[in-house]
A and B are shown apart, each in its own frame.
Chain A
Amino acid sequence: MSSQIPRPLMDSDSQPFWEGLKRQELMIQRCDECHQHIFYPRVLCPHCFSDKVAWTQATGRGHIYSYTVVHRAFGPFSDQVPYVVAIVELDEGVRMMTRIVGDREAIKIGVPVEVIYEKVDDELLLPYFILR
Chain B
Amino acid sequence: MRTERVAAIVGVAESDLGVTPGKTVLQLQAQAAKAALDDAGFTKDDVDALFTAGNWAWSPNLMLGEYLGIRPKFTDGTNIGGSSFESHVGHAVAGIQAGLFDVALITYGSTQRSDQSRNKPAPIATLTDQYERPFGLPLTVGAYALAAMRHMHLYGTTSEQLAEIAVATRKWATMNEKAFKREPIETADVLESRMIAEPLHLLDCCLVTDGGGAVIVASARAAARAKKKPVWILGHGETHTHQSIVNMPDLTMTGARESGNRAFEMAGVTREEIDVAEIYDSFTITALLTLEALGFCKPGEGGAFVSGQRTAPGGAFPMNTNGGGLSYCHPGMYGIFLLIEAARQLRGECGQRQVENAKLAIVNGTGGVLSSTSTLILGRD
Partners in one complex: yes
Q: Is A6 an interface residue (CB 8 A)?
A: yes
- Residue of A with least CB distance to B201: A71
- Residue of B with least CB distance to A86: B146
Could you list 17 further interchain pairs (A-B, Cβ under 8 angstroms) beyond the known A6-B134, A74-B119?
Answer: A7-B134, A9-B124, A39-B131, A65-B150, A66-B251, A68-B149, A69-B197, A69-B198, A72-B141, A72-B195, A83-B136, A85-B146, A87-B146, A87-B246, A87-B251, A96-B246, A110-B153
Q: Pick the residue among B125, B132, B136, B246 that contacts A9 (CB under 8 A).
A: B125
- Residue of B with least CB distance to A18: B130
Q: Is A95 an interface residue (CB 8 A)?
A: yes
Chain B residue contacts of A102, Cβ below 8 A: none
Within the complex, the shortest CB–CB distance from B267 to chain A, in Å, comes to 33
Contact B128 A40 (CB under 8 A): yes
A110 to B154, CA, bound (A): 11
Chain A residue contacts of B245, Cβ below 8 A: 87, 97
Q: Pick the residue among B120, B141, B146, B194 that contacts A66 (CB under 8 A).
A: B146
8 closest Cβ contacts across the A-B interface?
A: A75-B121, A8-B130, A68-B145, A77-B136, A6-B133, A66-B150, A69-B198, A74-B119
Q: Is A67 an interface residue (CB 8 A)?
A: yes
Given contacts A6-B134, A8-B131, A97-B132, are A68 and B197 in contact (CB under 8 A)? yes
- Residue of B with least CB distance to A120: B134
A14 to B136, CA, bound (A): 19
Residues of B whose CB lies within 8 Å of any CB of A are 119-138, 141-142, 145-147, 149-150, 153, 194-200, 244-247, 251
Residues of A whose CB lies within 8 Å of any CB of B are 4-11, 14, 17, 39-40, 65-77, 80, 83, 85-87, 95-99, 108-110, 120, 124, 126
Q: Pick the residue among B127, B133, B198, B247 that contacts A71 (CB under 8 A).
A: B198
A77 to B141, CA, bound (A): 15
Chain B residue contacts of A73, Cβ below 8 A: 136, 138
Contact B121 A6 (CB under 8 A): yes
Chain A residue contacts of B120, Cβ below 8 A: 75
Contact A85 B136 (CB under 8 A): yes
Chain A residue contacts of B246, Cβ below 8 A: 87, 95-97
A96 to B135, CA, bound (A): 11
Chain B residue contacts of A87, Cβ below 8 A: 146, 245-246, 251
A6 to B134, CA, bound (A): 5
Q: Pick the residue among A8, A68, A74 that contacts B134 (CB under 8 A).
A: A8
- Residue of A with least CB distance to B119: A74
Within the complex, the shortest CB–CB distance from A21 to chain B, in Å, comes to 11
Chain A residue contacts of B132, Cβ below 8 A: 97
